[in-house]
Amino acid sequence: MPDKQDFSTSSADTQSWLTTHGIKQVECLVPDVNGVLRGKALPAAKFLKSLEDRALYLPSSAFLVAIDGRYSGSIDEGFAYQDPDMRMVPDLSTLCLAPGGGAGKAYVFADTFHMDDRPWMASPRHVLRAVLDLYRRRGWRAVMAPELEFYLTAPNPDPDRPLTAPVGRNGRPESVQHPYDMQALEEFEPVIQRIYALSAAAGLPLDTLIHESGTAQLEINFVHGDPLALADKALLFKRMARQAALASGMHATFMAKPIAAQAGSSMHLHMSITDESGEPMFAGKDGNDTEMFSHFVGGLQKYVPEMMPLFAPNVNSYRRIRPGHSAPANIEWSHDNRSCGLRVPMGGRAARRVENRLPGADANPYLAMAGSLIAGYLGIEERLARSPEAFGNAYRSQSTLPKTMEEALDRFAACEPVRALLGEDFVQTYLRVKSVELDLFQSVVTSWERDHLLLKV
- Model's pTM, two decimal places? 0.94
Q: What integer best gives the mean pLDDT of the chain?
A: 92
Asked if 105 and 90 touch (Cβ cutoff 8 Å), the reply is: no
The stretch 310-336 carries a mean pLDDT of 90
Of residues 221, 379, 353, the one with CA closest to residue 289: 353
Q: Which among 210, 68, 84 is positioned nearest to 149, based on CA atoms?
A: 210
Nearest to 233, CA basis, from 194, 272, 207: 207
Confidence of residue 309 (pLDDT cuts 50, 70, 90): very high
Q: How confident is the model at residue 72 (pLDDT cuts 50, 70, 90)?
A: confident
C-alpha distances in Å from residue 129, one per residue of 32, 123, 124, 136? 15, 10, 8, 10
Q: Is the pLDDT of residue 442 over 90?
A: yes
- Reported residue count of the chain is 457
pLDDT of residue 111: 97
Residue in 270, 385, 258, 271 with CA at minimum distance from that of residue 320: 258
pLDDT single digits (tens) 102-143: 789 999 999 999 999 999 999 999 999 999 999 999 999 999
Confidence bin at 76 (pLDDT 50/70/90): low
Q: Which of 130, 68, 4, 83 is nearest to 315 (CA)?
A: 68
Q: What is the pLDDT of residue 9?
A: 44
Q: What is the pLDDT of residues 368-403, one digit of tens each?
A: 999 999 999 999 999 999 999 999 888 888 888 999
Residue 3: band (very low, low, confident or very high) from pLDDT cuts 50, 70, 90: very low
Q: Are 334 and 343 in contact (CB under 8 A)?
A: yes
CB 297 within 8 A of CB 354: yes
Q: Where do the domains of the chain lie, and which CATH numbers do they carry?
A: 12-120 (3.10.20.70), 132-422 (3.30.590.10)
> Which of 1, 11, 36, 5 minimizes the C-alpha distance to 437?
36
Task: Check residue 324 and give its pLDDT.
Answer: 66
Per-residue pLDDT at 325: 63
Confidence band of 5 (pLDDT split at 50, 70, 90): very low
User: From start to end of 17-93, where are the E strands?
Assistant: 25-31, 37-43, 57-59, 85-90
- Is the predicted pLDDT of residue 2 greater than 50, yes or no? no
User: Is pLDDT of 227 > 80?
Assistant: yes
CB distance 333 to 297 below 8 Å: yes
Q: What are phi and psi of 228, to 5 degrees?
A: -65, -45
Q: Tell me the pLDDT band of 4, cut-offs 50, 70 and 90.
A: very low
CB atoms within 10 A of CB 374: 25
pLDDT at residue 329 is higher than 70: yes
Is residue 407 within 8 A of residue 350, CB to CB? The reply is no
Cα–Cα distance for residue pair 365/124, rounded to 1 Å? 9
